[in-house]
Structure 1
Amino acid sequence: VVVACNGVGTPRLLLMSASERFQDGLANSSGLVGKRLMIHPYGASVGIYDDDMEDWLGPTGEQLQSMQFYESDPSRGFLRGSKWILQATTGPLRTVDRWTKGEGVCDEPFWGTEFTRKMQESVGHMIQWLVMSEDLPEETNYVSLDPTLTDSDGLPAPKVHYTLSENTYRLVDWNLQRSLEAHEAAGAKKAWVTSRNITPGHNLGTCKMGDDPETSVVNRWGQAHDVPNLFLIDGSVFTTSTGVNPTATICALAKRTATHIVENARQLEVAS
C-alpha cells in the first residue's frame, strides 16, 4: 500500500485508520503521526528600477536564485537560513497590490493624481526578491482530526495547529532586511517589503523518516515501522522543510522508494 497525500492528507488518513490493534492511528506507535508540521513561511520585497525590464511578461517563476544566506550563522540570532528567489512582479493589478499593501508605502497617496505617476514609474520596472525560510520541526505544530467538522463523506476533517516560531520570525525578518539592502546596492530608486510570514502550504514533516521506530514513523525507504507493507512517498516524511520548494525532493524520494519496492518485492515481509 503506497500513500501519497502529503503533510495534511497522509496523517489524516493514518489517524482515521485507528483500530483495536492501532488505537492511536495506523503506524503511530511513536506518537508522531501528524506532529512536526512545517509549511515554509516566506516574505518578499520589491524594488523600482530605471530600466524597463518587462517584468510583466511570462509566468511567475524563479528567474534566479541565491543560496548565500542558506546555512546557519550563529551571529544572526537564529538557526538555518533562506533561499532567495528573484521573480518578475507580473502585471498592473499586482503592482497596485504592492503599493496599497506594502510596508511603509501603503499610507502614501496612491489614488487620484498619484495613480498615473506611480503606475508609470513601477509597471515593468519592478523586481521582487522572495525569501523562503527553512521552517524547523516543532511538535507543537501538528495535524489532528477535527472533533466536529466532517467532509462530504462524513469523515473527520483535518485540523491544522500551527504557530510561527520565534526562529522563523527572526529568519524572515533578517533576510528581508538584507533583500532591501540588495535592492539598494543594485540601484533601486525605491524598495519596500510587500509581505512577510506568508504560508504557501508546503505541508511537510508530519510522518517523520528515521531509523528509530520510537522517534519516527517511517524508515529510510518510506516504509512504516509498524506496518511493513505500508509506504509513504510524499512530503510528510521530511525531517526538516529545507529552505527550497519541496516538489523535486518529493519526486526523488518517491522514485527511490518505488525502486526499493520493485527490487525487494519477493523478499518483503508483509504483516499478517
Structure 2
Amino acid sequence: MEASDIETYKVYVVSDSVGETADMLAKAAFEQFKGKKFEVKKYPYITNEEEIIDLVENASHGNSIIVFTTVLENLREKITVECEIKGIPYIDVMKEPIKAFEKFLSTKPENEPGIIHRLDAKYFKRVEAIEFAVKYDDGKDPRGVLKADIVLLGISRTSKTPLSMYLANKNVKVANIPLVPEVPIPDEVFEVSNKKIIGLTTDPMKLNEIRQERLKALGLSDTAIYANVDRILEEIDYAEKVMKKISCPVINVSNKAIEETANLILEIIKERNKE
C-alpha cells in the first residue's frame, strides 16, 4: 500500500491556553502506533462554547479523536457533551489529575487557564532583568541607561551592584553608573528622565572602613588613596553635586540592608511616576 493510500486519523488538540500539554501527550501516544498516519489540528485559546460546537462538528466528519486540556469547567463539560452526542472519542487530560490533587490537598482548584505560562513569563522576565543588570553594571555600557527601568548613581562601594541584582530579581531592569571625579559622566545620564534616577551616598567613615576591608581582601595596602578619608570626602562631595544637578532623590545606604534600600527605591520610583 502506498503512503498516500494510508488512512489518516485526525487528532484535535484543544485548550483554553496554549495546548502544549495536550499536544505532547497526543504525540507521545500516537508514536506508539507505527504504520498509522496522524494529522494534528490545534485549537488553542478556546474561550467560548460556540467555538467548541464548530470544532466538534468538524471532527465528526472523519476518523477523529479530541484531546483537550481546558480547565474551565463549562468548556470541559461542553466538549464532553458534544463529543458524546457526535460519538467522537475524547481524552480529558486534566480531569483525573485535578480530581486526584483536589482530593489529596482537600481544596478546590483555581480552574484558571494559562497559569503555568504566566509563571514562565515571569521567570523569563526575571532572567532578562538579571542579564541586563550584569551587562550594564558599573557603567560598562552607558547605553543601558536609556533602556533601564531604574538608574543608580553613586561612588564606589555604595551597594550599586548588589542593589541592581536584588531589583533584577524583582523583574526590574537596573543600570548603575559609578561617579568618579576624574571620569566624565555619560551623556545618557542627562538624556533620561530624572524620575528613574536614584543617587546613593553613604557615611564617609563607614565607607572608609568598607574600602579598607576591600583592599585587604584584594591583598593590597589599606593605606591606598582608594581608602583615604580626604579622597572619600572629595568623591562624596562630587557625587552630591552631580545628584543635585540632576535633581534626583538621594538615599544614604550607610545603615540600611540591601532589601530595605531596594524597597525604598521602588517606593520612590512609584511615587515619582505618579507626579
Larger radius of gyration: 2
TM-score range, shorter chain: under 0.3
TM-score, structure 2 length as denominator? 0.23
Choose between structure 1 and 2 for higher RCO, CA contacts under 8 A separated by at least 6 residues: 1
Q: Considering fraction of residues, name the structure with more strand.
A: 1
